[in-house]
Amino acid sequence: MTAKLIVQLHVADYDRFKSVFDDMRPVRKEHAATAHRLHRGVDDPNRVVVVTEFATADDARAFTRSAALKEAQQRAGMDAPPDFLVCEEVETDTY
């Protein structure tokens, strides 16, 4: 079963964050990521939510502990520690 890593974070400059995020694509793939969705706050565009799909929950957890991610967080200009949630999808429906 695939796992999702949901990350909520706040950055000082979205464009700086986005550049670093894009550079991290190969690292996400190395950790068995298969897709991502990127969201910005409507009232605060520097508030970001990233939903990344991984092959397993262990892969997602390993990504959160990777040295490459920690270094990227510093380069991205995060102004607070990120909030990580590893979860499995239990239901999908469309309306």
Residue 20 to residue 15: CA distance in whole angstroms: 9
The letter for the amino acid at 42 is V
- Decide: pTM greater than 0.95: no
The letter for the amino acid at 29 is K
Confidence of residue 1 (pLDDT cuts 50, 70, 90): confident
Q: What pLDDT, on the 0 to 100 scale, is given for residue 57?
A: 96
Task: Tell me the pLDDT of the chain averaged across its residues.
Answer: 95
